[in-house]
């Protein structure tokens, strides 16, 4: 895998030719060219309707995002020829998969097209170029978080991990869960930059759906870069267990929403607990803070167990549940072998892929330890194998366990070529917790 050379991999010739026919120029930006990179960042922000950054914030982005492959599309007929009309950024990452393992992933972000250049097929060219680049570099899958959910399925992507937002009425939420063994303490952003980073890396392989977090993203969560005024409201606590080992952290802010202090809202920005004990310690602390009437928490797991730890189950409301992480499998053999499975089994998969990367028939053999092998399949599937027909989208959707094969069969997305195949596949792909990604990228 040529990860050392990913920034200098030549631009996709097929994509460049397609855009040239439309009067557009497709190319890479040298992240060392701070002026050109700054123009790209401004274009990307404009694509998401963000306010123009301050000079300080712009410099932070130029420095913090320099480790990515930066691609743009330019229209040289415009008065402003230096600002791209479309953007995409990408970089090598890792995706955590069931079985406390990780797999290389091509992370894609900052996909924008200027509203002045919509309906010209630019996004299609950009996404197909990224997938060809990822395939050329040897990545078995691509991953992204999406602002619009109607774009990416045409390229083989599918929702692979969902997230949920919660609202908790603390006046009704009496803690009935276990008593934590350790203690909490307020910490500084500078402390969490290192200690929290180490905690994330220690926990990440055990959280299917989690993607390696870049340093710049973690510093944004901590308020060390970006909106300094908003960062002034952030509070951070660290949880150490009874042995003094750091096992969790929380980043939050409290907002006064009315004339009475009890109406204040605690907005939970980020919470990570590596143990059930740390989960209890952090949540019981947040729920018992004085002068707070409501806690809002975004980007939490869809199976967050908090309601089961309170005296009033209805004190916790799931206010939104939606797709968050989308993946696109490029090499089914590598992807399927990387994860572990709940039960042994034999599953024949007939996968179609309009772009050709994952096309083929294959036999997934899972041994009693949950380890798999994948072999090409020609002719009839073995008599003892489950057999499913699907597109790469469904393979990507079911890969981490976010949705069941039975659901995909019921909705007509997967064809059950042998009766009972969906149930057999569900038994093997089942995971004890729902896959989850804790941030946007």
pLDDT in tens, 120-138: 999 999 999 999 999 999 9
- The vertex-149 CA angle with 85 and 74, nearest 5°, equals 10
Q: Which of 139, 152, 239, 341 is an active site residue?
A: 152
Domain 3-156 and domain 164-320, same fold? Reply is yes
**CA-to-CA separations, 199 to 25, 196, 215, in angstroms, rounded:** 43, 5, 13
Please report the pLDDT score of residue 77 as a whole number: 97
Catalytically annotated residue among 139, 252, 341, 441: 441
pLDDT at 8: 82
Given this model, what pLDDT does residue 31 score? Answer: 83
Q: What is the CATH number of domain 164-320?
A: 3.40.630.30
Our answer to whether residue 441 is catalytic in this structure is yes
Helix 122-136 and helix 13-20, axial crossing angle in degrees, nearest 10: 170
CATH superfamily, domain at 331-429: SCP2 sterol-binding domain (3.30.1050.10)
Give yes or no: 152 in active site: yes
Question: What are the tokens at 440?
Answer: 């946007």
**Euclidean distance between CA atoms 81 and 357, whole angstroms:** 35
Give the integer Cα–Cα distance in Å for 45 and 37.
12
285-318 residue pLDDT tens: 999 999 999 999 999 999 999 999 999 999 999 9
CATH, domain range 3-156: 3.40.630.30
pLDDT of residue 111: 97
∠ CA 359-95-216, rounded to 5°? 130
**Domain spans of the chain, in order of start:** 3-156, 164-320, 331-429
Residue 233: phi, psi to the nearest 5?
-90, -5
Give the pLDDT score at 144: 98
User: Residue 251 and residue 272: Cα distance in Å, rounded?
Assistant: 9
From 107, 34, 28, select the one nearest 64 (Cα to Cα). Answer: 34
**Whole-angstrom Cα distance, residue 287 to residue 310?**
10
List the beta strands (DSSP E) in 314-371: 316-329, 345-352, 360-366
Tokens 């806690």 locate to: 295
Q: How far is C-alpha 220 from the chain's CA centre?
A: 16
Which residue positions in the chain have pLDDT lower than 50? none
Q: Give dist(CA 434, CA 412) in Å, integer.
A: 23
Model pLDDT for residues 376-413, shown as the tens digit of each residue: 999 999 999 999 999 999 999 999 999 999 999 999 99
Q: Which two tokens stand for residue 43?
A: 């274009």
Smallest Cα–Cα separation from 384: which of 368, 398, 364, 399? 364
- Distance in angstroms (rounded) separating the CA atoms of residues 183 and 336: 41
DSSP run (H or E) holding 73 = strand 69-74
What's the pLDDT score for residue 261? 64
pTM of the model: 0.95
Distance CA 102, CA 86 (A): 31
């Amino acid at each position: 895998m040529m990860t050392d050379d990913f920034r200098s991999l030549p631009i996709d010739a097929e994509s460049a030719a397609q855009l040239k026919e439309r009067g557009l120029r497709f190319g890479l930006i040298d992240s060392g060219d701070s002026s050109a990179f700054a123009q790209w960042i401004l274009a990307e922000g404009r694509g998401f309707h963000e306010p123009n950054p301050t000079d300080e914030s712009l410099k932070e982005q130029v420095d913090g995002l320099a480790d990515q492959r930066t691609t743009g599309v330019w229209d040289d007929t415009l008065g402003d020829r230096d600002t791209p009309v479309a953007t995409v950024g990408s970089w090598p990452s890792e995706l955590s998969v069931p079985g406390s393992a990780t797999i290389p992933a091509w992370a894609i972000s900052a996909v924008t097209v200027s509203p002045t250049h919509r309906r010209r097929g630019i996004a299609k060219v950009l996404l197909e170029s990224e997938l060809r680049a990822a395939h050329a570099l040897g990545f078995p899958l691509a991953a992204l978080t999406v602002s619009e959910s109607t774009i990416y399925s045409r390229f083989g992507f599918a929702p692979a991990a969902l997230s949920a937002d919660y609202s908790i009425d603390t006046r009704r939420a009496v803690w009935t869960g276990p008593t934590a063994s350790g203690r909490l303490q307020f910490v500084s952003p500078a402390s969490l930059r290192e200690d929290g980073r180490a905690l994330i890396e220690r926990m990440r392989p055990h959280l299917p759906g989690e993607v390696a977090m870049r340093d710049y993203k973690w510093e944004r969560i901590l308020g060390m870069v970006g909106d300094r005024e908003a960062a002034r409201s952030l509070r951070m606590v660290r949880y150490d267990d009874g042995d003094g080992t750091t096992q969790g952290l929380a980043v939050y802010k409290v907002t006064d929403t009315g004339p009475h202090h009890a109406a204040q809202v605690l907005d939970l920005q980020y919470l990570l607990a590596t143990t059930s004990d740390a989960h209890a310690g952090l949540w019981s602390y947040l729920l018992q803070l004085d002068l707070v009437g409501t806690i809002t928490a975004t980007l939490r797991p869809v199976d967050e167990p908090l309601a089961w730890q309170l005296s009033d189950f209805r004190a916790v409301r799931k206010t939104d549940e939606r797709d968050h992480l989308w993946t696109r499998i490029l090499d089914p053999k590598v992807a399927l072998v990387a994860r572990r499975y709940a039960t042994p089994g034999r599953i024949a998969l007939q996968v179609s892929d309009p772009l050709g990367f994952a096309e083929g028939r294959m036999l997934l053999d899972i041994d009693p330890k949950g380890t798999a092998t994948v072999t090409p399949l020609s002719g009839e599937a073995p008599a003892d194998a489950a057999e499913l027909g699907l597109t790469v989208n469904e393979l990507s959707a079911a890969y981490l366990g976010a949705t069941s094969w039975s659901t995909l069969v019921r909705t007509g997305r997967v064809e059950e070529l042998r009766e009972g195949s969906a149930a057999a596949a569900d038994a093997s792909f089942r995971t004890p917790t729902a896959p989850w990604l804790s941030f946007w990228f």
